[in-house]
């Protein structure tokens, strides 16, 4: 298998992968030509086995990290119920613009999916669904910060919307931020490179699904899966840490 989709764990009931940015969890109508995780897995597992995989939750196209699939109907039923009843613990890391004034914060703005012409989730007190995210500031790098997010609910784009609403949009987020890539020249003092030839450290939404904890759908055993930072996220954090 290529470096884009790495298998973290597999057994007869579940398949856990480390998803690279740029892949849809499953095909959607808004981006029909984008590569999907299932298509990529079909090249390594075989199309028949890949088609048997059942979606339990999703990650946005540009979000990297831990993604779980069920391998049979019973496992899908159990895992789907666990996600819906908030029995799954998810941890994300995000690079954001700005320095949060808080060390920890809880955001509970209700969200309405596909709420505008850009198909964004919007804050809507009247029609939005309850949405709660716990945030923790991990590090501050001048104009940027590293933030941990623990969503209690699983609404579309929840972390991205909540961070933007708090005033700290995720770096390079084209929907809820300014979409601008992160360049070394934007924060390194006395940078002497060629601005026209400079390549971005990170050019996609800077959000990574770091870990996920759940009970095994058959045995109930407590499981925890983690995905290390991908190269672009790791490089960005490393360079920001040097400033």
State which H helix or E strand residue 77 sits in: helix 73-84
The C-alpha R_g of the chain, in whole angstroms, comes to 18
- Across the strands, what pairs with 139? 146
- In which element (H, E) is residue 102 found? none
Residue 186 pLDDT? 83
What gap in Å lies between CA 149 and CA 132, rounded to an integer?
Answer: 10
pLDDT tens column, 127-166: 999 999 999 999 999 999 999 999 999 999 999 999 999 9
Copy the structure tokens of residue 153.
């609910």
Q: Which residues of 142-152 are buried (b: 16+ CB within 10 A; e: fewer)?
A: eebbbbebbbe
User: What is 7-57 written as a DSSP string?
Assistant: EEEE-SSEEEEEEPTT-BSS--TTSTTS-BHHHHHHHHH-HHHHHH-EE--
Coil vs helix vs strand at 217? coil
- Torsion, Cα of 207, 29, 162, 113 (10° steps): -160
Q: Which strand (E) or helix (H) includes residue 206?
A: none
Q: pLDDT tens-digit profile of 32-69?
A: 788 999 999 988 888 888 889 999 999 999 999 999 99
Give tens-digit pLDDT for 223-240: 999 999 999 999 999 999
Task: Please give the structure tokens belonging to residue 125.
Answer: 């007190």
Assess whether pLDDT exceeds 60 at residue 2: no
Annotated catalytic sites, by residue? Answer: 60
Query: CATH for 5-242?
Result: 3.30.2350.10
Indicate the pLDDT class of residue 189, thresholds 50, 70 and 90: confident
Could you give the C-alpha distances from 196 to 185, 202, 213, in angstroms and in order? Answer: 11, 16, 44
In the chain, where the domains are located: 5-242
**Nearest one of 28, 18, 14, 7 to 76, comparing CA atoms:** 14
Q: Inform me whether the pLDDT recorded for 196 exceeds 80.
A: no
């Amino acid at each position: 298998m290529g470096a884009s989709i790495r298998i973290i764990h597999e057994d007869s009931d579940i398949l856990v992968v480390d998803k690279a940015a740029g892949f849809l969890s499953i095909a959607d109508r808004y981006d029909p030509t984008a590569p999907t995780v299932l298509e990529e897995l079909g090249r390594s597992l075989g199309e028949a086995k890949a088609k048997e995989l059942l979606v339990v939750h999703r990650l946005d196209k540009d979000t990297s990290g831990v993604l779980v699939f069920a391998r049979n109907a019973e496992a899908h039923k159990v895992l789907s119920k666990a996600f819906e009843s908030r029995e799954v613990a998810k941890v994300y890391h995000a690079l954001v613009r700005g320095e949060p004034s808080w060390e920890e914060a809880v955001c509970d703005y209700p969200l309405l999916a596909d709420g505008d012409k850009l198909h964004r989730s919007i804050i809507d007190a009247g029609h939005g669904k309850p949405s709660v995210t716990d945030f923790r500031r991990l590090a501050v790098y001048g104009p940027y910060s590293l933030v941990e997010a623990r969503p209690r609910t699983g609404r579309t784009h929840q972390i991205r919307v909540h961070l933007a609403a708090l005033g700290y949009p995720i770096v390079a987020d084209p929907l809820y931020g300014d979409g601008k890539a992160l360049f070394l020249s934007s924060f390194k003092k006395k940078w002497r490179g060629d601005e026209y030839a400079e390549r971005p450290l990170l050019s996609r939404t800077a959000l990574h699904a770091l870990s996920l904890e759940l009970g095994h759908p058959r045995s109930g055993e407590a499981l925890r899966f983690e995905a290390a930072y991908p190269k672009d996220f790791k490089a960005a954090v490393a360079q920001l840490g040097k400033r």
